[in-house]
A and B are shown apart, each in its own frame.
Chain A
């Protein structure tokens, strides 16, 4: 059969498209929920108007984004059964539980309290209204945790036994599934990367307004918040990435060998900066390497042995029988590099930004600015950057917005494709996981439908985001500044229009 149309190829493309697309919205949702809640907390505590304006502005962008996240998430819940029914039969006893937990505990939380937050400005006292946003934030984080625990089980199955007579895997230790080191490290890495993403989003959009000298008060606050989030999030993403990497060296040596295009085991093992190789022959033609660094990434020393692709392939053939146990090496290799490259570039830009726009106590008198002025971009002690460089600084900050999104997309492509040919590592191969009776025509139909629908919605969403980004924070009204004191609203005027309506 033509390999390009093998059932699992189509199903994998579909899963890849729908999941990477869904995950463009997820990190923004997670981080913007918390950041918006943080800004709203600042408003409730200080009553400074700039915080309320910023809350409304970022909250609006958050809502445009979460709408897409929610609806594309429904597809995720359905498609295991639709395209991967044999997977579902085999792992449902284990994999279904975290999904059900996610729905029961996290989705209800998010979706119910988001409704209260959107429509609650004139119905809830401000502290309760604020609490709703924090509930949403907690919901998004819990949701991420449960689904990552489920994914971690695919990366490193634990707490189960195989029931031969039923032909499936069965759960023996749910607590272990939820708390194994893979799940903790993946959750830590994904959540910190989410904050890097949201921080960069905030930095980029604040820079857009500051470059045009608009909405300066709110955007200066947002810029600082974004920069700090980028730096803290980026640093923790790197730390958690290192932890997760070490775990993967142990649990999936093939994935990490592929990530490095390390064909044959070496001691000490070098880190590859650039490689171009021949997959069939199993070696690199061109390789630029840093000696010993890979040993350090794997084992915290500069001398130890790291197994290569050919070694692991042989070991797996001995363990699981004949076959090719190598993933797509170029995708793993470059995916790993794009993930780290784009992620760490955004972190570096954030770190630079934090220094360049530092606050007044670190600046000489003549470079300090008032509350309504765009900050100077100051590299050295006494001199601000010239107008051209300053403009470029803001432009680069705007582009940074996209970097963590690219990084997390490649991160998922790397981690999922690096696990191939397994869908559950060492337990179930991807080709045995597809729905046996779903026809090629049906899969192609759904793929065309989802891809075109998602493309249209992407255009709609980006245009809408752009419109609201350009519009900037709204002017506050009398009602905004006088939130109700009673639940259900203060009924002074029965015919008063709702503060927000669809």
Chain B
């Protein structure tokens, strides 16, 4: 495979990593209002991701930075074209990060409640909008001969992309619920499993429609395999959740995300951003990519750094492997 093909796979890998990891972070953020019944429970949820959410978010920065380096045209078109959705995502991520860090730092009821609202809404908005963004990338948008986006904001809110948004929203919520079941003890764990069943069924229906739509519009044999894996994994995750195999359930919901993202990228290839105006104006792995020299350097960097990153991030999850419950949350912030 040529280097730009390798980098297409690597970019897909980075986005997959991002959606796998921050996917459950977003889900947990949403559950703070859907599952938690009081402040101690909300804090249990937030603390399941407390030590790791920041590291998880770096997957996004790496995906964006690597797209800039490996496919500058793709980066330029995507970020300038999807200006307003990305602005909203940026605001969400800014407020959300500050909310996690600052919420506990003052005891006032108003302060804590406002940051809790912020965590819920920003998680929900970002989870939804990433689906909209990727829906549009796969579907194709109005690109002119200079690869500049000439559509409007409203063009991005088409039914297919909006359905994509609902899929990421529900899928991440499901992923967050099975993660919560895996990481907590007590009543909240039981309720997380119950909630996961409901959300998971809804996700299954939405995802099936969205992925079939994708398959019909631009799929091939490979994407069909990914579709089948995604749906089968989701069903298996639901079953595992039902019988109380929480580790399996989480792993399988992870497989669902991996397979679904893989399917989108398989459908996309060899395009990276198709133009809906003229096929000639589509950005492809070839016309969007950097020079072979840059790609070679990037490949070395990724080959060395990525495994190390995964090792120490993995180690973090191991350090914080214990389940937590309301009894582990000190009433007052200690330090």
Residue B213, interface by CB 8 Å: no
Q: Could you mark each residue 462-502 of chain A with 1 if its beta carbon is under 8 Å from any beta carbon of chain B, else 0?
A: 00100110000010010000000001110000011111111
How far is A467 from B108 in the complex, measured between Cα atoms in Å?
13
B104 / chain A contacts, CB cutoff of 8 Å: 501-502
Q: Shortest distance in angstroms between B249's beta carbon and chain A's nearest beta carbon?
A: 24
Q: Known contacts being A74-B90, A93-B290, A114-B54, is A124 close to B301, with CB within 8 Å?
A: no
* A-B contact list, 17 entries, CB within 8 Å: A92-B76, A93-B291, A93-B294, A100-B62, A102-B65, A103-B61, A107-B62, A113-B312, A115-B51, A118-B50, A123-B320, A170-B294, A171-B290, A437-B149, A502-B47, A502-B50, A502-B101
Q: Which of A71, A436, A502 has the most CB of B within 10 A?
A: A502
Residue B86, interface by CB 8 Å: yes
Assess the A120–B319 pair: CB atoms within 8 A: yes
Residue A105, interface by CB 8 Å: yes
Residue B302, interface by CB 8 Å: yes
Q: Shortest distance in angstroms between B122's beta carbon and chain A's nearest beta carbon?
A: 11
Assess the A72–B94 pair: CB atoms within 8 A: yes
- Which of B60, B78, B291 contacts A170 (CB under 8 A)? B291
Residue A94, interface by CB 8 Å: yes
Residue B222, interface by CB 8 Å: no
Assess the A74–B94 pair: CB atoms within 8 A: yes
Assess the A64–B105 pair: CB atoms within 8 A: yes
Q: Could you mark each residue 54-65 of chain B with 1 if its beta carbon is under 8 Å from any beta carbon of chain A, else 0?
A: 110110111011
How far is A73 from B80 in the complex, measured between Cα atoms in Å?
18
A102 / chain B contacts, CB cutoff of 8 Å: 65
- Which of B50, B67, B91, B302 contacts A453 (CB under 8 A)? B91
B81 / chain A contacts, CB cutoff of 8 Å: 437
How far is A268 from B20 in the complex, measured between Cα atoms in Å?
64
**Which residues between 12 and 55 of chain B lie within 8 Å of chain A, taking CB atoms?**
43, 46-47, 50-55
Chain A, residue nearest B50 (CB) = A502
Interface of A is mostly: helix
Q: Shortest distance in angstroms between A225's beta carbon and chain B's nearest beta carbon?
A: 21
Assess the B61–A77 pair: CB atoms within 8 A: yes
Assess the A477–B334 pair: CB atoms within 8 A: yes
Residue A246, interface by CB 8 Å: no
Residue A442, interface by CB 8 Å: yes
Chain A, residue nearest B88 (CB) = A449
Residue B73, interface by CB 8 Å: yes
Q: Shortest distance in angstroms between A339's beta carbon and chain B's nearest beta carbon?
A: 28
B47 / chain A contacts, CB cutoff of 8 Å: 498, 501-502
Assess the B72–A500 pair: CB atoms within 8 A: no
- Which of B43, B75, B93, B294 contacts A94 (CB under 8 A)? B294
Assess the B73–A89 pair: CB atoms within 8 A: yes
Residue B206, interface by CB 8 Å: no
Assess the B293–A172 pair: CB atoms within 8 A: yes
**Which residues between 151 and 177 of chain A lie within 8 Å of chain B, taking CB atoms?**
163, 168, 170-172, 174
- Which of B67, B100, B309 contacts A104 (CB under 8 A)? B309
How far is A112 from B319 in the complex, measured between Cα atoms in Å?
12
Assess the A78–B105 pair: CB atoms within 8 A: no
Beyond known contacts A60-B335, A83-B80: 18 more, CB 8 A cutoff: A63-B101, A64-B102, A70-B54, A73-B61, A74-B61, A75-B94, A88-B72, A100-B66, A103-B64, A104-B305, A105-B305, A108-B62, A172-B293, A438-B80, A446-B83, A488-B319, A501-B104, A502-B47
How far is A118 from B149 in the complex, measured between Cα atoms in Å?
42
Residue A445, interface by CB 8 Å: yes
Residue A6, interface by CB 8 Å: no
Q: Which of B57, B79, B146 has the most CB of A within 10 A?
A: B79
- Which of A108, A172, A464 contacts B58 (CB under 8 A)? A108
Q: Shortest distance in angstroms between B296's beta carbon and chain A's nearest beta carbon?
A: 9
Which residues in B have some Cβ–Cβ distance to A below 8 Å? 43, 46-47, 50-55, 57-58, 60-62, 64-73, 75-81, 83-84, 86-87, 90-91, 93-95, 97-98, 100-106, 144, 146-150, 290-291, 293-294, 297-298, 301-302, 305-306, 309, 312-313, 316, 318-322, 324, 327-330, 333-335
**Which residues between 115 and 143 of chain A lie within 8 Å of chain B, taking CB atoms?**
115-116, 118-121, 123-124
How far is A436 from B146 in the complex, measured between Cα atoms in Å?
10
Chain B, residue nearest A97 (CB) = B69
Assess the B93–A71 pair: CB atoms within 8 A: yes
Assess the A119–B51 pair: CB atoms within 8 A: yes
How far is A313 from B26 in the complex, measured between Cα atoms in Å?
53
Q: Shortest distance in angstroms between B305's beta carbon and chain A's nearest beta carbon?
A: 4
Assess the B301–A85 pair: CB atoms within 8 A: no
- Which of A89, A118, A121 contacts B76 (CB under 8 A)? A89
Q: Known contacts being A78-B90, A453-B94, A498-B329, is A88 close to B75, with CB within 8 Å?
A: yes
Assess the A96–B69 pair: CB atoms within 8 A: yes
Chain B, residue nearest A479 (CB) = B334
Q: Shortest distance in angstroms between A491's beta carbon and chain B's nearest beta carbon?
A: 8
B53 / chain A contacts, CB cutoff of 8 Å: 115
Assess the A437–B65 pair: CB atoms within 8 A: no
B83 / chain A contacts, CB cutoff of 8 Å: 82, 435, 438, 442, 446
- Which of A74, A97, A124 contacts B298 (CB under 8 A)? A97
How far is A77 from B290 in the complex, measured between Cα atoms in Å?
18
Q: Shortest distance in angstroms between A495's beta carbon and chain B's nearest beta carbon?
A: 5
- Which of B46, B52, B84 contacts A442 (CB under 8 A)? B84
How far is A81 from B297 in the complex, measured between Cα atoms in Å?
22
Q: Which of A56, A99, A453, A468 has the most CB of B within 10 A?
A: A99
Q: Shortest distance in angstroms between A150's beta carbon and chain B's nearest beta carbon?
A: 10
Q: Shortest distance in angstroms between B197's beta carbon and chain A's nearest beta carbon?
A: 28
A114 / chain B contacts, CB cutoff of 8 Å: 54
Assess the B90–A92 pair: CB atoms within 8 A: no
Assess the B293–A171 pair: CB atoms within 8 A: yes
Chain B, residue nearest A88 (CB) = B76
Q: Shortest distance in angstroms between A424's beta carbon and chain B's nearest beta carbon?
A: 14
How far is A298 from B316 in the complex, measured between Cα atoms in Å?
50
Q: Known contacts being A67-B101, A78-B90, A171-B291, is A103 close to B58, with CB within 8 Å?
A: yes
Assess the B77–A457 pair: CB atoms within 8 A: no
Assess the B79–A85 pair: CB atoms within 8 A: yes
Q: Which of B103, B147, B301 has the most CB of A within 10 A?
A: B301
Chain A, residue nearest B327 (CB) = A495
Q: Which of B50, B106, B291 has the most CB of A within 10 A?
A: B291
B316 / chain A contacts, CB cutoff of 8 Å: 112, 115-116
Residue A68, interface by CB 8 Å: yes
Assess the A92–B301 pair: CB atoms within 8 A: no
Assess the A67–B319 pair: CB atoms within 8 A: no
Assess the A56–B293 pair: CB atoms within 8 A: no
Assess the B76–A86 pair: CB atoms within 8 A: yes
Q: Shortest distance in angstroms between B23's beta carbon and chain A's nearest beta carbon?
A: 17
Assess the A449–B91 pair: CB atoms within 8 A: yes
How far is A456 from B62 in the complex, measured between Cα atoms in Å?
28
A72 / chain B contacts, CB cutoff of 8 Å: 94
Assess the B72–A104 pair: CB atoms within 8 A: no
